[in-house]
A = this chain, B = another copy of it.
Amino acid sequence: MLNNDTHDTLTIAGKAYTSRLLVGTGKYKDFAQTKAAIDASGANIVTVAIRRTNIGQDANAPSLLDYLPPSEYTLLPNTAGCYTADDAIRTLRLARELLDDHRLVKLEVLGDPHTLFPNMAETIAAAKVLVQEGFDVMVYCSDDPIAAKQLEEIGCVAVMPLASLIGSGMGILNPWNLQLILEKAKVPVIVDAGVGTASDAAIAMELGCAGVLMNTAIAAAQDPILMAHAMKLGVEAGRAAYLAGRMPKKLYSATPSSPTAGLITPSK
């Protein structure tokens, strides 16, 4: 069974994780609810918006780290709210300082505050600098297969295309582009943004993605803790279905050509 199979792990930048669900920490009622939802999700990697969440920048306010200690979770600082390469680079340098030379980061450079669609030119520019500075860069990106390949060639350790706009819950709008990315990628492809419910997460995994990152879909559900559990199951279901090899789709079933063959008769 899958959950006993210690070999099906997600490896990013040389480290193996048992969960393929990555989660954010925003939009919860308080840090206690954040922690409860994350624990229900089973996530190992937890992303934190450095410009929005206190992980020590403000020494007088409660810190997320009190609830999610780096000894138990892999924190993934991200650059939510950054609209230029410079801003994003500065933000991640700060995170490295705050988190004792932590190297694994999530880069996102947004195009505008209305759509939160990535600015791919600035994203690529920032990725080049960050990789050179020794960061392990996981990168939020559009579903452009050429740009995704460029980010991999720059040295990013994971590419994270959107399924649909951040916070939209619209699901996977263009599975074909994801498929183009997956066919070429040698690093993990992790769907980031747009997942709205458990079946969306399952679909992403069935396409062959290595993982799914989400925040709003859990935090904005009516019952975030239960939804976190649903997402855990959805990711596991999709991964298992991918590994199991689904039946082919066909317009009609493989009807037996002689439909009366194989009928049995009571023994006399």
Question: Which chain A residues numbered 56 to 105 have a C-beta less than 8 Å away from chain B?
Answer: 57-61, 81, 94
A113 in contact with B255 given A57-B264, A169-B246, A265-B58 (CB within 8 Å)? yes
Interface of A is mostly: loop
- The answer to whether B216 touches A245, judged by C-beta atoms less than 8 angstroms apart, is no
- The answer to whether B237 touches A267, judged by C-beta atoms less than 8 angstroms apart, is no
User: Which of B57, B111, B229, B246 contacts A221, CB < 8 Å?
Assistant: B246
- The answer to whether B57 touches A237, judged by C-beta atoms less than 8 angstroms apart, is no
Chain B residues with CB below 8 A from A168, complex form = 249-253
Q: Does A222 contact B (CB under 8 A)?
A: yes
Chain B residues with CB below 8 A from A263, complex form = 51-52, 81
Question: Which chain A residues numbered 105 to 121 have a C-beta less than 8 Å away from chain B?
Answer: 111-121
User: Which of B2, B52, B144, B253 contacts A229, CB < 8 Å?
Assistant: B2
Chain B residues with CB below 8 A from A171, complex form = 249
A180 in contact with B115 given A59-B267, A168-B249 (CB within 8 Å)? yes
Copy tally for this chain in the complex stands at 4
Q: How many A residues touch B, CB cutoff 8 Å?
A: 97
In the assembled complex, the Cα of A226 lies from the Cα of B244 at a distance in Å of: 5
Chain B residues with CB below 8 A from A199, complex form = 199, 202-203, 206, 234, 237-238, 241
- The answer to whether B246 touches A223, judged by C-beta atoms less than 8 angstroms apart, is no
Chain B residues with CB below 8 A from A180, complex form = 115, 117
Q: Does A160 contact B (CB under 8 A)?
A: no
User: Which of B167, B238, B245, B266 contacts A57, CB < 8 Å?
Assistant: B266
In the assembled complex, the Cα of A221 lies from the Cα of B201 at a distance in Å of: 20
- The answer to whether B165 touches A146, judged by C-beta atoms less than 8 angstroms apart, is no
Q: Does A159 contact B (CB under 8 A)?
A: no
Question: Which chain A residues numbered 219 to 262 have a C-beta less than 8 Å away from chain B?
Answer: 220-224, 226-227, 229-231, 233-234, 236-241, 243-256, 259-260, 262
Q: Could you list some 29 contacts between A and B, CB below 8 A?
A: A2-B230, A51-B263, A51-B264, A52-B263, A54-B264, A57-B265, A58-B264, A60-B267, A111-B146, A113-B256, A117-B145, A120-B120, A120-B146, A121-B147, A165-B251, A167-B252, A167-B254, A168-B251, A169-B250, A171-B249, A198-B202, A202-B202, A216-B253, A221-B241, A224-B244, A227-B241, A229-B240, A233-B236, A234-B237
